[in-house]
Amino acid sequence: MYEVLMFDGGVHKVDELLDLIEDVGGFILQRTQIQVMITLTIAIPGEDRPLIEKKAAELGGKIIEVPLAGTEIAVIGPTLGRHHMPHPICDIAEHLRRYGAITIVMGLARGRGRKTCQISAAEKAIIEEYDAAIFMLGNFTECVTHEKIDLYKDIQIPVVTVIGPELESLPHCEALVCGVGRKVERMRRSEEIAKLEEIADRVKEVIDKRRVEIDEDPLFVHPSEIKDALEDMEAVQVCLRPAPIVLHVDGLRVKIPYKKHVKELEELEVYGHKLKDIAIISDCRLGDSTMIKIKTKAEVEGKVR
Amino acid sequence: MGNVPSCPMTLSTSGPSARRCWYQACWGESMVEFELEGTEQYALESYQWLLQRILMDMGISTMVERVRLVIRPDQTLFIISMRIKQSGSKRPLYDIADTESQEGGTFITIKDESYAPRLLSNLWHKYGRERVQQLTRLEIFVEGAPVEEITDIRLDPEEEVRSQLLDAMWRLLPEGLKVRNEYFNDDVMTIVATEHGMTVDFIAEAQNVHRNMIKGPEED
């Protein structure tokens, strides 16, 4: 079982760590270098963790737990207006990044209001491309419990709802965090940071539950193994977009155009199988990217037989 | 109640679900009297907190004397009424500019640029555009005006305050409540907002809030 960790340290002799990760069969998921400091998000076999920790300590760096690494999470507000952005939606997105998640912020076209709030099929489809969604729904109990819950009712991915008023529960969502309503300033007080932690905890629980479900019928390969193969593609190497490959719990998002590269992707070889045999490759709803959903072992082996 | 500061609430006897709160918030030197009425305590307190932060952000918290919020999400009704503090301190011209008597008129050098547009429009209004020459960004020459008369001019900052307060109210109002009516006089501004149709009852209630705000707390 792969474990996703983050190395935070200097660039001096970091090659030794990179070699060790490769030797134990691990992968670099993300590499961010700022001058002489480097942050590596890595996936390594769980049993080799002590080796990596020892090497990190030797290099003067540290290994940090990143429970949300390898996930892409959407934080959704009713609109992109100044009533909802940047606080608290961007604060939540920023906080989740500290736990290794890749987050995006999204505003609905017509999500504001009570009777008039709505979500389109296109918006739902975009949201469903992510591993989990966080919906930020505001300060009015009446509005949240009667109207806003319809915004995420049909969404097929886990939803964490964040609202202002204290409520016991809400229908259609996997988790609920109360006490975070509209904000006009950054969430930086201790009680606000505690709320951000609570949101991160709920998201971790939701993602863990999803991972456990996936483990019941495991994926044919881990997404990071496909990432490793994709990195050899020229189109990925020349892609200038930040994080050209984003890992999901059950697949990947590759930021290269689907129509142009679908054939090449289908023929990509992973452990002796063509990618089209072990994954579903589809166009991404958000411009010029490709979605790869990895099939389960049962699906692939059933087909092979 | 999350991160919203606690507010001393007293239940109103006027209705089964109506709540009322008299709360004085102190921020530094400023003192704003809040009157909250509505059906959801969290909404009331959080909107009070939001307004305080918006006013602080804009640096105009000292200019507000009294605020009344009526929030009834079940009826989709939001009324905000704000009473501006009487500044009573129109700034004299010598405070913001140097004046010098010259042949044929008065030469003005502006020291506080933020008052330049208001001074210019005041001079235009008083002497006509043809007699007021803006030589540079901060220099004005007024033809045929004695220096004593110019020095006596006092500038009223309230117009700018009103526009800033209106901006604060627009920032506060929930985005979805697009149907709005506004009432204002020199000291009080009231906005009533709802989502669909503005009803006669909403308008009457807003006008009542506006009238009571003009009268002040004693007669309310």
How many contacts, defined by CB atoms under 8 Å, are there between A and B? 82
- pLDDT range class, residue A286, cuts 50, 70, 90: confident
Q: Mean pLDDT over all residues of chain B? A: 81
* Per-residue pLDDT at B14 exceeds 60: no
Question: What average pLDDT does range B139-159 have in this prediction?
Answer: 85
In this structure, chain B runs to a length of 220
**What does the domain layout of chain A look like in residue ranges?**
2-65, 72-214, 223-304
CATH superfamily of A2-65: ACT domain (3.30.70.260)
Q: Which of residues 59-98 of B touch A (CB under 8 A)?
A: 73-74, 76
Contact across the interface for B40 and A178, Cβ inside 8 Å:
no
Q: Mean pLDDT over all residues of chain A? A: 92
Question: What average pLDDT does range A262-286 have in this prediction?
Answer: 93
Check residue A265 and give its pLDDT: 95
Check residue A169 and give its pLDDT: 92
- pLDDT range class, residue B218, cuts 50, 70, 90: low
- CA-nearest of B75, B5, B4 to B38 is B75
Nearest to B42 among A83, A84, A164 (CB): A164
CA distance B85 to B68: 14
Q: Which residue has the tokens 């679900």?
A: B17
- CA-nearest of A40, A48, A45 to A64 is A40
Question: What average pLDDT does range B95-114 have in this prediction?
Answer: 88
* Per-residue pLDDT at B25 exceeds 60: no
Q: CA-nearest residue of chain A to B41? A: A165
Check residue B88 and give its pLDDT: 55
* Per-residue pLDDT at B146 exceeds 80: yes
- CA-nearest of A105, A103, A51, A101 to A81 is A105
Element (H, E) at A125: helix A121-127
Q: How far is CA B106 from CA B99, B118, B133, in A?
A: 7, 18, 11
The answer to whether B80 touches B191, Cβ cutoff 8 Å, is yes
Element (H, E) at B66: strand B64-72
Q: What is the pLDDT of residues A169-181, one digit of tens each?
A: 999 999 999 999 9
Asked if B177 reaches chain A (Cβ–Cβ under 8 Å), the answer is yes
Nearest to B3 among A117, A142, A191 (CB): A191
Contact across the interface for A113 and B178, Cβ inside 8 Å:
yes
Check residue B28 and give its pLDDT: 42
* Per-residue pLDDT at B23 exceeds 60: no
Q: What is the CB neighbour count within 10 angstroms for residue B91?
A: 17
* Per-residue pLDDT at B18 exceeds 50: no
CA distance B81 to A118: 30
Q: Which percentage of chain A shows pLDDT scores above 90?
A: 78
A77: which chain B residues are within 8 Å (Cβ-Cβ)? none
Q: What is the pLDDT of residues B52-90, one digit of tens each?
A: 999 988 888 888 889 999 999 999 999 999 998 766 567
- pLDDT range class, residue B51, cuts 50, 70, 90: very high
CA distance A97 to A92: 9
Asked if B50 reaches chain A (Cβ–Cβ under 8 Å), the answer is yes
The DSSP symbol for A174 reads S
Q: Which of residues 118-137 of B touch A (CB under 8 A)?
A: none
**What does the domain layout of chain B look like in residue ranges?**
10-87+158-215, 91-155
Question: What average pLDDT does range B39-45 have in this prediction?
Answer: 93
Backbone φ and ψ of A51, nearest 5°: -60, -45
Check residue A243 and give its pLDDT: 85
Check residue A303 and give its pLDDT: 61
The DSSP symbol for A204 reads H
User: Which amino acid type is present at position A247?
Assistant: L
- A146 burial via Cβ count (<10 Å: 0-12, 13-18, 19+): middle
Q: What is the pLDDT of residues A66-123, one digit of tens each?
A: 999 889 999 999 999 888 888 999 999 999 998 989 999 999 999 998 888 999 999 9
A185: which chain B residues are within 8 Å (Cβ-Cβ)? 53, 57
Q: Give the list of residues 6+ apart from residue B130 with CB closer than 8 angstroms, or none.
A: none
A contact set with B (CB within 8 A) = 78-79, 81-84, 112-117, 138-143, 164-166, 178-185, 189, 191-192, 195
Question: What average pLDDT does range B150-160 have in this prediction?
Answer: 78
Q: What is the pLDDT of residues A191-238, one digit of tens each?
A: 999 999 999 999 999 999 999 999 899 999 989 889 989 999 999 999
Category of A129 on φ-ψ map: left (φ > 0), alpha (ψ -120 to 50) or beta: alpha
In this structure, chain A runs to a length of 305
A180: which chain B residues are within 8 Å (Cβ-Cβ)? 2
- pLDDT range class, residue B19, cuts 50, 70, 90: very low
Upstream peptide bond of A86 is cis (omega within 30 degrees of 0): yes
Q: What is the pLDDT of residues A141-163, one digit of tens each?
A: 999 999 999 999 999 999 999 99
* Per-residue pLDDT at A302 exceeds 90: no
B52: which chain A residues are within 8 Å (Cβ-Cβ)? none
Q: Which CATH number fits domain A72-214: 3.40.640.10, 3.30.830.10, 3.40.470.10, 3.40.50.2300?
A: 3.40.50.2300
- Provide DSSP, B164-180: HHHHHHHHHS-TT--EE
Q: Which residue has the tokens 């989502």?
A: B195
- pLDDT range class, residue B92, cuts 50, 70, 90: confident
The runs of H, that is alpha helices, within B75-115 are: 93-96
Nearest to A179 among B2, B47, B178 (CB): B2
The answer to whether A12 touches A66, Cβ cutoff 8 Å, is no
Check residue B157 and give its pLDDT: 67
